[in-house]
Structure 1
Amino acid sequence: MVAVGNPLGLAGSVTAGVVSGLGRALPVRSGRASRVVEDVIQTDAALNPGNSGGALADAAGHVVGINTAVAGVGLGLAVPITGTTRRILDALRDEGRVRRGYLGLVGAPAPLPADVAARLGRQKGLRVAEVVPGSPAARAGLHAGDLVVSADREPVSDAQGLQRRLFAPSIGRTMPVTVLRGEAMVDVIAVPSELTDH
């Protein structure tokens, strides 16, 4: 792996290393909102302040990730290039910024009960750990303990599955969210607001 960036203000720097882990999770905070970026690439390519936003490329020169964080000495994290990151990069190129929807909940992947898993054809949902008071999720009636199985009629198995539904087109639009609450499937209607730094 090769990491490209401007570490410590030194423009055009390149460092080499290997991928030392896949599927890591990176907690991030934006103002009062916090979330988890999942499936992050861990590398031992030397990253320093200023590397963020630079490319992480393989030996063939293919960009596989965007350098995101220094997690310690000899440990860097990069967001992998996926459909979601391509949408972010397109929005940055076209509009100069990325608008994201905000629901106001914190969750983690959790197993579905066997009968529900068999009916839905998957093993996990997103267990709601916390709902931010006054947030769109709170106004919609979501509660800690709910197990989210779909949002906007698309399956949700983890935080990333929900975050993929929260790009600019979701802001101010009704979004059906189906949760398992106790033994009942419950549909709520959420209206994401725009995620801001305030």
Structure 2
Amino acid sequence: MPDEEPLDAYSRVVSTVAAALTPSVAAVRARRRGGEGGGSAVVFTADGFLLTNAHVVGSAAGGTAAFADGTQTPFTVVGADPLSDLAVLRASGPTPAPATLGDSDALVVGQLVVAVGNPLGLAGSVTAGVVSALGRSLPARDGHAVRLIEDVIQTDAALNPGNSGGALADARGRVVGVNTAVAGVGVGLAVPVNATTRGIIATLMREGRVRRAYLGLVTSPAPLTAGVRERTGQRRGLRVVEVVPGSPAARAGLRAGDLVLTAGRAPVGDAQSLQRLMFADAIGRPLPITVLRNGALVDVIAEPTELGPVPRG
């Protein structure tokens, strides 16, 4: 019947993606101090590298990956980056054919996506839905450092505990996100797979960690008054909510209540514009920052330090 064709087409897409992707998605058990953690991971290279969430492995050094065909293999944690919630694993034994990484920047709201993972211990589970929203931000914490994961994908594809680290794929079976959180009924979030995260993944594979610069600021976007907009040409800045004692920001003289206008001589209007500066090339280098304090423009020089790595074992 003609009215059945859309459902048939939808079913064909989902079942085709599921058949192609499910063999590449593993249920992982990570050996942590004091117990085990679990979730999902997806094979993304032919030589046995897997991609998952940093929170799935935590401080673990290794664990076991189990695939849909019943095979199991030990893995080691090559590297994890809590501030992007991504981790790379390396399997010790044979792995299925890798999934293909896509580009989340090409997604549009309403587009079909398929989630594959191991929710609640149910291996090889497949759910489908749409991209509900793009450009969300998800706070991530590593010790005293807080960062926003940018361009997070929101989907209504059902996600449950155990889906974390699994694949979110487009209609062609390309992995466009790594499922990371359940924000509520019908609201799932995935870390995007795009140029930024590909760079993080490559760095984890090469160096085992992502070197990040650290300032010690907690900020919140704030609108500028009409007078300040006229003086600066900016509409927004970053209100300093907290300065971590003893941090580079504190040593530079930044204070709670300051309104950050520029960093590195570039305007900042959201948390992302500041944190994009906080990678390895900023470590130990003078960073000029201009703030508005009590109606006056104040220039300071901060020197970001390196954010320490998370110990494993």
TM-score range, shorter chain: 0.7 to 0.9
Task: Report the Cα distance in structure 2 between the residues aligned to 1:184 and 1:82, rounded to whole angstroms.
Answer: 40
- After TM superposition, the runs of 4+ consecutive aligned structure 1 residues lying more than 6 A away are none
Alignment equivalent of 2:284, drawn from 169, 172, 177 = 172
| Residue aligned with 1:91, SS | helix
In the alignment, the residues of structure 1 paired with residue 298 and residue 289 of structure 2 have an alpha-carbon distance, to the nearest angstrom, of 8
Residue of structure 2 equivalent to 1:72: 184
- How far residue 53 of structure 1 moved from its aligned partner, in angstroms, is 3.8
Q: Which moved more, 1:24-33 or 1:163-172?
A: 24-33
Counterpart of 1:110? 222
- Aligned counterparts, 1:43-58, within 5 A: 43-58=155-170
CA 1:138/1:77 → structure 2, altered by over 3 Å: closer, same or farther? same
Q: Tell me how far apart the structure 1 counterparts of residues 298 and 198 of structure 2 sit (CA, whole Å).
A: 33
Secondary structure of 1:17's match?
strand
Residue 153 of structure 1 is matched in structure 2 by 265
User: Which moved further from structure 2: 178-187 or 133-142?
Assistant: 178-187
Whichever residue aligns with residue 45 of structure 1, its letter is A
Alignment root-mean-square deviation, CA: 2.5
Q: 1:43/1:4 Cα in 2 relative to 1: closer, same or farther (>3 Å)?
A: same
What's the CA shift string for 1:35-57, capped at 9, x where partnerless?
33354322112223343344433
Q: Distance in 2 between matches of 1:117 and 1:61?
A: 46
Alpha-carbon distance in structure 2 between the residues aligned to 1:55 and 1:188: 44
Match of 2:275 in 1: 163
Is residue 41–residue 80 contact of structure 1 (8 Å, CA) maintained in 2? yes
> How far apart, in 1, do the equivalents of 2:174 and 2:269 lie?
29
Identify which of 244, 248, 260 aligns with 1:132: 244
Deviations 1:101-156 (A, max 9, x none): 11111111111222332444331111111111111111111111111122122221
Q: Which moved more, 1:77-86 or 1:150-159?
A: 77-86
Q: Which moved more, 1:92-101 or 1:128-137?
A: 92-101
Q: Is the alpha carbon distance of 1:151 and 1:53 closer, same or farther for their aligned partners in structure 2, counting shifts above 3 Å?
A: farther
The amino acid of 2:264's aligned partner reads D
Larger RCO, structures 1/2 (Cα 8 Å, 6+ apart):
1
In 1: Cα distance, 2:121 partner to 2:285 partner: 42
Matched, 1:35 2:112: no
Contact kept, 8 Å, 2:116 with 2:166, in 1: the verdict is yes
Q: Aligned in 2, Cα 1:81/1:111: closer, same or farther, shift over 3 Å? A: farther
Q: Which shows bigger deviation, 188-197 or 124-133?
A: 188-197
Q: How does 1:80-119 map to 2 (within 5 A)?
A: 80-119=192-231
Question: Aligned partners of 1:106 and 1:149: how far apart in 2?
Answer: 15
Q: Could you list the per-position Cα deviations for residues 60-114 of structure 1 after superposition, in whole angstroms to 9, with x for gaps in the alignment?
A: 4454433222223432112334543333223123222212111111111111222
How much has 1:19 moved relative to structure 2?
2.0
Alpha-carbon distance in structure 2 between the residues aligned to 1:184 and 1:4: 53
Is residue 28–residue 34 contact of structure 1 (8 Å, CA) maintained in 2?
yes
- How many residue pairs align between the two structures? 198
Give the secondary structure class of the aligned counterpart of 1:88. Answer: helix
Write the distance in 1 (CA, Å) between the matches of 2:196 and 2:232: 24
Contact 2:128 2:157 in 1 (8 A): yes
SS at match of 1:133: coil
Instruction: Report the 3-state secondary structure (helix = DSSP H, G, I; strand = E; otherwise coil) of the residue aligned with 1:169.
Output: helix
Gaps of 5+ in 2: 1-112
1:18 equivalent among 127, 130, 144: 130
Moved more, 75-84 or 184-193: 75-84
Which amino acid is the alignment partner of residue 184 of structure 1? Answer: A
Residue 148 of structure 1 contacts residue 180 of structure 1 at CA under 8 Å; is this kept in 2?
Answer: yes
